[in-house]
Amino acid sequence: MSFTDSSLLVMGLKGSGKTTYLAALWHYLEASEIKGRLSLPQLQPDRDYLNRIRTSWLAVKPVGRTSMRTKATVEMTVRDSVTAEDIKITLPDLSGETFRLQWATRKAPKDYMEYAHGCSGAFLFIHPLEVKKTHALASGSDESWRKAEPATSQIEPAARWTPTQTATAVQLVDILQLLLDERAPTGKLKLAVIISAWDQIKATTPPSAWLERRMPLLAQYLRGNRDSIVSQVFGISAQGGDLTVDHEKLLDISLASERCFVMEGESFDRKSIAAPLEFLISH
Amino acid sequence: MSAACSQPGCEVGTSGRCVEGFHPISSCPYVILSGTDVRTIETQQDELVSFADQELVDLPSGEALSIRHASAVTRDHLTEIVFIAGPFDSGKTTILTCLYEAFLEAPFAGYTFRGSKTLVGFERRSHEGRQESGSSAAKTTHTPVREGVVFLHLDLAYEQRDGLGHKHLLLSDISGELFGRLRDSSAAVAELPALLRATRICLVLDGEKIANRTKRHVSRNESRAILRSIIEAGALQQGCVVDIIFSKWDVVLAAASEISGSETMKFIDETKGLIRSVAASFEVRFHEIAARPAPDAKTPFAHGLPTLLRSWMNNDISSDIKPMSVYVPNAPARQFGAFTAAVLTGNTEGAEYVIHRL
């Protein structure tokens, strides 16, 4: 059995599903209700944070979000049955506010920059119902355009530009650019783009096509940087449904790990909740 | 409670006054509060305080690049420097923001967005042309003289036979007033070292003025005089290409369709001849651009920009590359952007797109 280290970042704006995914992933690995490629050969010494968020997840309750005062760095060792390796994973669960403020203030916590410098891969979370876009106007009076296409922007109009008047895709590209600039040149960055709450958007397209359609700038950025980023897009339902509407149905599922499902890339096939992690730590 | 701000010139930390005018200052997205007596007021403030209490490092501003920062790009990367000249309100900044808006929607003109060091600069300049400004009519923020010479940056990728290539573009954004000085003073030209490094100079002629009988002569003369001033000062390197842009081409076409319209087109032909004679020792290319035409215009959004961008990029894109994809919502009620509309009407100037309806 060989041993490697994998330092991963968890990125995404507030409410993008980072902590919920961690809770579901932890349960999948630790409870081992479903046998998969990855397993947990032994418990890590500090499990307080993971067990806390898992308790909420198991009870089909919101797992809460990570505040900036919660220094939640997860460390665990997983065993990969395909490569026969034990992989030590370090994974800081940062507040989504950190990433919003990074765009708004052009400052970042030193801790984050140190993680960024040494990371081998990253999760990038996107909540599909929170994707904000901007809309270019034509010249002159554009009332006809407005009538034909009612305003759908979720961005509050303001006469003067502030950083909040920015599309989600632009903010995420900025986060990725800064990560690439900061990261030590140790091979390509592996990036798992995770579209969370996949069950809620009733997508008729696979995750890759969803990203192309809804966030074309981000999709271009990933394609254009394929010499330095290896990426895959995942659609993930970490809860398995709506916490209110589907509450009873979710509680009725006897193996909690079976609530979650993942779709990968251009496929509609259901995969394990650990698929993004498998992608990030595979060679 | 104390505060600090990332906005240049904001003295909120010393005077308590927010340069952006936000009250209370905690509502300003730039401000960082620190201290201990506001922690329980509300969650957002609490988060701001927690953020400020950490050890923070400064990130690149994302604003348009100074000459010094632009030089770092040229030092490290294959770069085309495009010096965009033109009188006040001729449409220089609009061309840049529309190029950016097009990439927000899809790959453009054979190129894929690969990055930008000036995302904040693009966003700031694009705001008045967006629905999110609260306006129903697009405007462009005019570049203030005090900014001096700054550059917007794009890193664009393209398919080659042996894989993906990419090139950096530095696009100058300079106030029209500054170009007035260039026309009137050789010393002003000499003070612009950025010109010496330009691989392309792009002169914008205001199409709206060209279409207007009382304004066209002054407009043409201003642009011709600026070009002559720059060339005679020896400010252009050998091999520099001169791109001449007739902006607001939708207005020119509308004028050309009127009874006296042939005069407008004759005037444009004569203008081309005059420009060629001024820039006889340089390669001159002419472009008809309607970056953001009126809704009832015959030209689509970004008309002429694909050809202009390919000229700036100065490379041959492989002819056997795959067509680019544009994803269009199938439901008619769903909104799609101005560039996607141009693709749907088939006006893509040679760039091939496959339309996916989702």
Q: Where are the alpha helices (DSSP H) in chain A?
A: 18-31, 48-58, 96-105, 110-118, 143-148, 168-182, 207-214, 216-224, 247-251, 275-281
CB A194 within 8 A of CB A126: yes
* Residues of chain B falling short of pLDDT 50: 1, 35-42, 318-320, 331-335
Alpha-carbon distances, residue B288 vs A203, B4, B137 (angstroms): 41, 47, 23
Q: Which residues of B touch A169 (CB under 8 A)?
A: 104
Q: What digits encode the pLDDT tens for the residues B173-190?
A: 987 777 778 788 888 887
Looking at residue A143, what is its pLDDT?
Answer: 42
Residue type, A211: L
Here the tokens at position B21 are 């005018």
Q: Which of A70, A97, A106 to mutate to test the interface with B (most CBs of B within 10 A)?
A: A106
Looking at residue B281, what is its pLDDT?
Answer: 92
CB B204 within 8 A of CB B84: yes
Pick from B203, B224, B236: nearest CA to B278: B224
Interface ipTM: 0.91
Query: Which among A142, A162, A166 is the nearest to B138, CB-wise?
Result: A142
Residues 6+ apart with CB under 8 A from B356: A209, A212, A213, B325, B326, B327, B328
Looking at residue B1, what is its pLDDT?
Answer: 47
Residues 6+ apart with CB under 8 A from A113: A182, B57
Q: What digits encode the pLDDT tens for the residues A268-280?
A: 888 999 999 999 9
Here the tokens at position B324 are 């680019």
**How far, in Å, CA of B292 to CA of A231, rounded?**
34
| Tokens 């330009």 found at | B198
CB B353 within 8 A of CB B339: no
Looking at residue B258, what is its pLDDT?
Answer: 80
CB A232 within 8 A of CB A207: no
Looking at residue A74, what is its pLDDT?
Answer: 85
Dihedral sign, Cα of residue A25, residue A31, residue A35, residue A39:
positive
Query: Quick one: B14 exposed, middle or buried, by C-beta within 10 A (0-12, 13-18, 19+)?
Result: exposed
Query: Which among B51, B119, B358 is the nearest to A174, CB-wise?
Result: B119
For chain A, 283 residues long, give each residue's pLDDT as a single digit of tens.
677 888 899 999 988 999 999 999 999 999 999 999 999 999 988 888 899 999 999 999 888 777 666 667 888 899 999 988 899 898 887 888 889 999 999 999 998 999 899 899 999 999 999 999 998 886 544 444 344 444 444 788 898 999 999 999 999 999 999 999 999 878 899 999 999 999 988 778 899 999 998 999 999 999 999 999 999 999 999 998 888 889 999 999 999 999 999 999 988 888 999 999 999 998 7
Query: Which among A110, A145, A205 is the nearest to B56, CB-wise?
Result: A110
Q: Do A216 and B47 touch (CB under 8 A)?
A: no
Here the tokens at position A95 are 């507040």
Query: Which among A110, A142, A165 is the nearest to B132, CB-wise?
Result: A165
CB A92 within 8 A of CB A73: yes
| Tokens 């950096």 found at | B168
**How far, in Å, CA of A112 to CA of B56, rounded?**
9
Q: Does the beta carbon of B164 lie under 8 angstroms from any beta carbon of chain A?
A: yes
Count interface pairs A-B at CB distance under 8 A. Answer: 209
Looking at residue B14, what is its pLDDT?
Answer: 62
Q: Are strands A72-80 and A121-126 parallel, antiparallel or unpaired?
A: unpaired
Q: Does the beta carbon of B126 lie under 8 angstroms from any beta carbon of chain A?
A: yes
Alpha-carbon distances, residue A183 vs A154, B31, B276, B290 (angstroms): 33, 27, 49, 41
